[in-house]
Amino acid sequence: MDRNRLTLNRMIGRGLLLAPVLFLALFFIYPLLTILGVSLAPQGQLDLSGFTHLVTTDYYLNTLAFTVVQAVLSTILTLALALPSAYVFTRYTFPGKSLFLSLATLPFVLPTVVVAAAFTSLIGPRGLLNTFLVSTFTLASPPIQLDRTLGIILIVHVFYNYAVALRIITGFWANQNPRIEQAARVLGANGWHLWWHIRLPILRPAITAAGILVFIFTFTSFGVVLLLGGPRFATLEVEIYRQAVNLFNLPVAAALSLVQILLMFALMLVYTRLQRRLSTEITSAVNVAVRPSTRRDKSMVFANILFMSVLLFTPLLSLIAASVSSDQGITFRFYQQLTLNPRGSILFVPPIQAIGNSLLFALITTLLAAALGLMAAYLLSGRVTRWSNLLDPLFMLPLATSAVTLGFGFIIALDKPPLNLRSSPLLIPIAHTLVAMPFVVRSILPALRAIPPSYQEAARVLGASAWRVWRLIDIPLISRALIVGATFAFTTSMGEFGASLFVARPDTPTIPIVIFRLLSQPGALNYGQALAMSSILMLVSAVGFVLIERLRTAGVGEF
């Protein structure tokens, strides 16, 4: 009887571990295959004309070339700027260090419409900086002309991904043995030689992993290029949107999506293997951070804080300032108007209702992503096999999949029983969970792999059941990582825009959708309300990341 119960418990445990695979199959792979099937076989027969257009038309080849070039440039700039900052955060301790590191991650979860509004309010033709320069120096035209240029695309990509590179490199560097560098100094290595022969070789795995992840995010860039780049520029993601939504050319859109998915899966495969290598190369954490004492040290810390403030915080602060500004001076009218829904408005409900919707969807997403992400992490933390090597990048793939393709897949695939969810508000947290679950997995997986097997073996020898081992050994050791992953899921859900744009119902909008709708309409009131909603979203996300930094252990987690 006991043996049968033990066998049953093992079967239930293995079944639970397969839950994230089933979730991914139902709500990611199935809709993706459905939209690809409809697009590539519209008449029931295979139609590869879309692929023929890709390889025979210069426009699509140029689009692919631009996508690669801007992603490479964005990655190089991001790494070049994040590496010195990683050195400062690893080697020095200073007031506000933890707060700066947590707030630096804030841009990563902000929807593109918020970031576009922030940079427009700062360096746009009528932005705060151009207005100041024109009035101060009596100029005939705004001196900063970055609107609709490659320059603004690269700047915003660095703005988005700077914290990703900073966290990965800092987390790895903080756990390296400082004696290697000390020995090199004794042998006469200093300055550039120390960087080239010691630091960069040690950091190469972390730099490579950060570079691949930043390249993936910039390669699949959608909103930045669409809103700030203008019609002159198009990445594959933007072109998928144009072909599917504006031209309804589904064969070409599907061909572009398939090319992008295959490329991203290959990169995710490399990234997950690198991350597995990083987790094995991390040594015992040694706190090497010291207070800056010399003038050179203090100058480095000050320059880093100043740079981060200009790059990351100035656009966001200008957004807040613009949300309380009017021709008559400081006003909170835009915030007050969020409770109203006048006749003829572009919205179906008062804007403030979107805050409640976003909070509810974020809570559901957090529960789903935390539970499924925990199961997925256990599934990947065991012995490395061919299946785990395949599942690891597969769990990451929703981050790099076209929101347009996935949105159409939801609409087409999930409209029949038993998955008739097309008009259900549950589709929003499901879509958000697909995007948030990878962050939970990457937060928990290193913590699980760091648990010594001897702990669990000793507990079993003492008679503890699998349930008690999990409850009394595993959970206490990974609880901080689990909370970090859950907080990541919550903030990601609050700011998710791409998938929500396709699956949200008019009467249940989220904050990013309301911001997008308000920005799409003319008028100072609509613009002011959009800035007010953006400021509220920034505040909620900032609180989340401050919580992450208070709970996060240096080097634990992959973001």
- Taking only the tens place, the pLDDT of each residue in 7-64 is 444 545 566 678 899 999 999 999 888 877 877 777 777 777 778 878 888 888 899 9
How big is the chain by its Cα radius of gyration, in Å?
Answer: 25
User: Would residue 13 count as lying in a domain?
Assistant: no
Q: What is the pLDDT of residue 162?
A: 93
Provide the 3-class DSSP secondary structure of residue 326: strand
Q: What letter represents residue 501's amino acid?
A: L
Q: State yes or no: pLDDT of 444 exceeds 50.
A: yes
Q: State yes or no: pLDDT of 553 exceeds 60.
A: no
Return the half-sphere exposure (C-beta side, CA atoms, 13 A cut-off) of residue 338: 24
Mean pLDDT of the chain: 81
Instruction: State percent of the chain over pLDDT 90.
Output: 16
* Enclosing domain of residue 45: 20-323+334-551
Using alpha carbons only, give the angle 481, 484, 486 rounded to the nearest 5 degrees: 110
Token pair 């119902």 in the structure block, residue: 505
Compare 68 and 477 and report the one with higher pLDDT: 68
- Taking only the tens place, the pLDDT of each residue in 219-256 is 988 878 887 887 788 888 888 888 877 887 878 887 88
Distance CA 392, CA 390 (A): 6
User: Would residue 412 count as lying in a domain?
Assistant: yes
Phi first, then psi: give them for residue 325, nearest 5 degrees.
-115, 150
Instruction: State percent of the chain over pLDDT 70.
Output: 88
Distance CA 130, CA 305 (A): 24
What pTM value is reported for the model? 0.82
Q: Is 516 exposed, middle or buried (0-12, 13-18, 19+ CB in 10 A)?
A: buried
- Mean pLDDT check: name the lowest of 80-89, 114-123, 435-444: 114-123
Are 361 and 493 in contact by the 8 Å Cβ rule? The answer is yes
User: Would residue 375 count as lying in a domain?
Assistant: yes
Residues, the chain, total? 559
Q: What is the pLDDT of residue 350?
A: 84
User: Would residue 80 count as lying in a domain?
Assistant: yes
- Taking only the tens place, the pLDDT of each residue in 92-129 is 888 888 778 777 877 877 777 778 878 887 888 777 88
Total domain count, the chain: 1
Phi first, then psi: give them for residue 329, nearest 5 degrees.
115, -150
Q: What is the pLDDT of residue 12?
A: 52
User: Which residues, other chains included, contact 188 with Cβ-Cβ below 8 Å and sequence gap of 6+?
Assistant: none
User: Would residue 431 count as lying in a domain?
Assistant: yes
Distance CA 264, CA 508 (A): 32
DSSP assignment of 243-297: IIIIS--HHHHHHHHHHHHHHHHHHHHHHHHHHHHHHHH--------B---SHHH
Tokens of 211: 């570079």
Provide the 3-class DSSP secondary structure of residue 92: strand
Alpha helices in 496-556 (DSSP H): 500-503, 511-519, 524-551
- Taking only the tens place, the pLDDT of each residue in 267-305 is 888 888 887 766 655 544 455 677 888 888 899 999 999
- Taking only the tens place, the pLDDT of each residue in 193-215 is 777 777 788 888 889 989 998 99
**Among 351, 305, 284, which Cα is nearest to 514's?**
351
Phi first, then psi: give them for residue 323, nearest 5 degrees.
-75, -15
Maximum Cα–Cα distance across the chain: 89
Q: What is the pLDDT of residue 555?
A: 45
Are 23 and 372 in contact by the 8 Å Cβ rule? The answer is yes
Provide the 3-class DSSP secondary structure of residue 330: strand
Q: What is the pLDDT of residue 556?
A: 46
Q: Cα(first)–Cα(last) distance of the chain, in Å? A: 46
CATH code, domain with 515: 1.10.3720.10
Are 117 and 170 in contact by the 8 Å Cβ rule? The answer is no
Provide the 3-class DSSP secondary structure of residue 346: coil
Return the half-sphere exposure (C-beta side, CA atoms, 13 A cut-off) of residue 301: 20
Tokens of 194: 């120390």
**Among 288, 312, 289, which Cα is nearest to 81's?**
312
- Mean pLDDT check: name the lowest of 112-121, 181-190, 460-469: 181-190
| Buried/exposed 111-144: b ≥16 CB within 10 Å, e otherwise | bbbbbbbbbbbbbbeebbbbeeebeeeeeeebee
Cβ atoms within 10 A of the Cβ of 491, count?
A: 28
Are 395 and 28 in contact by the 8 Å Cβ rule? The answer is no
